[in-house]
Structure 1
């Protein structure tokens, strides 16, 4: 009711998720059997990056969900998401370790060795399989948003990641629990994306089959159900784990075991 009452206010300068409809539904990725996880958009190459968490792999995908390349992630563990930082850099989230590993965009054919790259480990959770689940990066503000799935759900804002990589150490970790308490209408959080055009944050829920849009103050602006019958979907998205938006506003989802979706706004 609240989002509907503010429709006129937000439709022109937000993603406005109620207008999104599926264009590519449940396309199985050739050569990927299971455990498809995170997604991010790389405008420099006009493609998507995705990760498989077991065995750990990095994938390059077209905007139609066609596999363009794949790289083994040697020494990595339980990779749940990937975010493009710009300047040919990616950051990978290892859930169980609670680690963020920054890697260069790979060339064809070479495996990535974890020991070769810088990693940041934040002691924000225990040692169980309940750590970092999703990443979203604000390039202009040098802010990395990180979500923890459940027990409890968490949203963190990490400021200064790129600056620290350049030698200007000054990380600041902000707990955005108040945003979750006031705006999140879902049981879990499986992915996060920062939309540079609107300055808004998208949050994805696997269990509740929802995408939610929050403004810069953490207020709920809009949401989109991923249940069958909504957004033109013939069937519900089974287990949405990854999410990103490209420069044209097209929304992409990755769902286990190996399914690819693209949505566009009417």
Structure 2
């Protein structure tokens, strides 16, 4: 991330910005202030960004991007913001990905997961899909230098038919928050992120059932399906995978508080 600020900013004003953010409840006010200062094109632009953040708008929407797995990922308003714990999903997928593999990123949102998997891997053929047109445009921008393809539609229905039986890796960071638990989410997610990117149905497992049920039709022999899940849902998700005919296991990272279920054909 380069230094963009071309206007004069004294320490007093910087402290005022930090104070404004802190009073608005921003826990990491100093770090956020530095990011806003770096990205602002003018003093007027900076103050607008500060007020947007102070109003509660997620920092990623104010900046227009987030850093994920070392990549600068564009994040448009209304698109799900990739979580840092999802790095574990990427790590698990990368250990299974080989050159010339076909990788599918379902419910791609910003496209961060697929982009991070394809990053620095030679000749990975990336296909991403999401039902939301804003997410599709966002993903298109984030994978344009990776020769990836992105499609709009509902899960596998968005994918070209010729991919059936040929996909080596499917990653799916699908919605998995139980409907009644959405009201318990942090305000930034609850108020600003689209409900369809969070709501996993009554038990949070609706989309996992759909993804697992169709996986065998799309995966190549020896292919893998990986989904992020909560620790409390891991056992149920594993059972869903097994019932779908996949050889399955659970991977867990305590430091990131991240859980991934992996199914293999």
Greater percentage in strand: 1
Q: Which has a greater percent of helix?
A: 2
TM-score (norm 2): 0.27
Higher relative contact order (CA 8 A, sep 6+): 1
Rg comparison, structure with higher value: 2
TM (norm. structure 1) is: 0.27
